[in-house]
Amino acid sequence: MDRLDNTIRPYAWGSPTAIPHLLGVEPSGEPQAEMWMGAHPGAPSRTARGTLVEVIATDPERELGAEAVAKFGPHLPFLLKILAAGAPLSLQVHPDLRQAKEGYADEERRGVPVDAPHRNYKDANHKPELICALTEFDGLCGFRAPGEAADLLAALDVDSLKPYVDLLRAHPEEAALREVLTAILTADPAEMTRTVTEAATACARLGGDHAPYAGIAHHYPGDPGVLAAMLLNHVRLQPGEALFLGAGIPHAYLSGLGVEIMANSDNVLRCGLTPKHVDVPELLRIVRFEAGDPGVLRPEAARDGEEVYETPIDEFRLSRYVLPAGAPAHDLTLRTPQILLCTAGSVRAGEHELTPGGSVFVPAGEKAEVAGAGTLFRATVVV
């Protein structure tokens, strides 16, 4: 197995302290948002044999296994991250596989440069993702019931929001959510700034269920995404709990430290809380206007101490081992590729001693024995 040397991304929303604290190093004073583990070309993990992209390209079947190559192609189909949100991320959705392929082909046909700021589809893949909390973790996930959203907005007592309240109470669910989100994103910018400012003041005054939106508005004053966020479920995960974010589900991470895994894609359509491009017509085509419970996941016991976060996705499978002191070694050998990540304590993986933030890549079929006292996450695929 190969010890991984991983890149930390300094996005502006990142916490300056959470990842350094996990790694046991001094903060640099700069935001540290994500640590990437995998073979994404934008920041591939490095090994003694070269980057993980280079290692896999040399012999895909040896590194990934024949079954994984046959199903997903000669590349690692997931990206594993440690994510540290110190401020809200953009409100966003991801396309399904068919939409991604069609959107990518269309933009290629029209000659939109892949690095253009208005480009929606950077690749032809979907981007389902799973976030598992390491600390208390706040986020937004999926639409509230329209009546609940109406009550939340009505309590602000802002005159310019009353038409939205009426729409949410008068229409069938899908139509109500679609009409209100469309109205928010297409309103006159100057008028929307005034409305959001007034709403943010009311949220700060009311507190309680409104408090998260006052916090969002503090980071994104006047942004229409503040009102769009009020249409969504607010979720607070406890350590070990997780959220699965499928295609078309609007979501945003607000604060906290977590382990995130996703299909290897950059396709994001933004709804707000960002200075970046918002393609409203394409966004409205992708969003699933369905209200429902966000579905907090808790790990399910499998075998030999493994706890699995069950999802309907084959590109990744995330599980966790909480290893007690003095327990016998676990054999984690699989016929699929793995990344093992330590998040607490000290775990020996093969010849490598892993402390929090330490990770290894295990080629398909390679002997993978672990022991120690700590928490270990395992990322692999389903074949």
Q: CB of 193 within 8 A of CB of 222?
A: yes
pLDDT tens profile 289-324: 999 999 999 999 988 889 999 999 999 999 999 999
What pLDDT does residue 2 have? 97
Contact 185, 228 (CB under 8 A): yes
Which pLDDT does position 115 carry in this prediction?
87
Question: Are the C-beta atoms of residues 285 and 247 closer than 8 Å to each other?
Answer: no
The amino acid present at 2, given as its one-letter code, is D
* 3-state secondary structure at position 152: helix
Go through 229-251 and write b for each residue having 16 or more CB atoms within 10 A of its CB, e for each that does not: bbbbbbbebebbbbbbbbbbbbb
Q: What is the pLDDT of residue 92?
A: 94
Distances (CA, A) of 61 to 44, 215, 264, 337: 19, 48, 18, 10
Radius of gyration of the CA atoms of the chain, in A: 22
Q: Would you state the pLDDT for residue 114? A: 87
pLDDT at residue number 276: 86
341, two tokens: 């990540």
Question: Which ranges of the chain have pLDDT less than 70?
Answer: none
Amino acid at 233: N
Residue-level pLDDT at 83: 98
Place of tokens 């769009």: 228
Active site positions, annotated: 270
pLDDT at 139: 97
Q: What is the pLDDT of residue 127?
A: 93
Q: Give residue-wise pLDDT tens across range 330-358.
A: 999 999 999 999 999 999 999 999 999 99
How far is 87 from 82, CA to CA, in rounded Å?
15
Which pLDDT score is estimated for 347? 96
What is the per-residue pLDDT for 326? 86
